[in-house]
Amino acid sequence: MKQELVALIISSVKTAKLKQTTTFAWQSLNQLLWPAVCINCGDSICETDKSLCQSCWSELLSCTGAEYCGRCGKETSKYALLEGVCPDCQGKEIQFDQIARSGVYTQALQQMILSFKNGRTELDSTLAFLANSALQASTFYQDIEIFVPVPLHWSRRLKRGYNQSLVLARKLKHPTAKINADLVRIRRTKFQTAFDDYKTWQVKRAANVAGAFAVRYRHRFVGKIICLVDDIKTTGATLNECAKTLKEAGAAKVFALVLAVAGQKII
C-alpha cells in the first residue's frame, strides 16, 4: 500500500513538472514568434508587464494619483482649498457640480489619450482602468444614475468611426447607472485646440461651443443625477456647455469624469 502511494506521488510530481516544462516552452516560443510590446511606446516588454513598459508605467504614476480640486480638476493641495474649491476656480461660473479625473494631461497619459482618439481603440481597457479608479474614488460615485458621453458632431463621428467618450463610457463599472446618448451636438464647431492663446482661450473656447448642444425629444434627464464622460478637460468650456444644456433639460445634478486635465505641469 505504501509503495503504491509513493509511486502515485512520484507520478504526480513528474506529471506536474512535465506540464510546467511544456507551459514554459510554449510561453518561450510565443515570446519568440510574437514578442510582447508596450501598447503605448512599442518597446519590448515581458509578458508579466501587463501591456506597458516600466518607463510608461513610471510616467503614468507620475501624472496620476495626486490631490486635485474636486470642482475644476486641477492639481492642488487639500490645504489650498477654500470651502472645497481651489483659488483658480473661485469666482468662476462652473456648470457641472463636481469632477473626477485620472490624471494630468502629459507624458504617457497624453500620448495614450491622443492615440485613443486617433484610431487605437485597443487602449480602451488600460484607459478605462484609470477612469474607473478615479470614478470609484469620487464622492459622487454612488449617486450617479446616468452616464452621458460628451457627443461628437455626426460628421466628425462619421469620419473617425467612433466617439471615444462613448467607448470609454461603455467600459465604466457601476452597479446601476446606464449610458444615455440623448445629448447631441447640433453644430459643427472648430477644434478647441485652435484656440491656444492663453490670454483669450477661455473666452474663445466658450464662445466656440455656445449653443452647440441639445437634448433629444423625449429624453429621460428630468430629475436625474448625471455624470458626463470625456477624455480631456482644458478650460472646461465643453463640459460647462454640456452641463448647462442638461440642467436646462431638467437634470438634478451633473458631475463630470475625464481621463486628464490639461494645462498643468508635473513637478
Q: What is the mean pLDDT of the chain?
A: 84
Given a cut of 50, is residue 13 above it in pLDDT? Answer: no
pTM: 0.82
Give the N- to C-terminal CA distance of the chain in Å, as an integer. 70
- Name the E strands within the chain: 98-104, 146-149, 178-179, 183-185, 213-215, 225-233, 253-261
The dihedral over CA atoms of 78, 83, 88, 92, expressed in degrees to the nearest 10, equals 150
94 vs 190, more confident: 94
Give SS3 for 223.
coil
- Over residues 241-251, mean pLDDT: 97
Rounded to the nearest 5°, which phi and psi values hold at 196? -115, 5
Residue-wise pLDDT for 16-56, tens only, equals: 555 556 554 444 444 554 567 888 888 887 765 678 888 88
Q: What is the pLDDT of residue 79?
A: 78
Range of lowest pLDDT (115-124, 129-138, 257-266): 257-266
Q: What is the pLDDT of residue 137?
A: 94
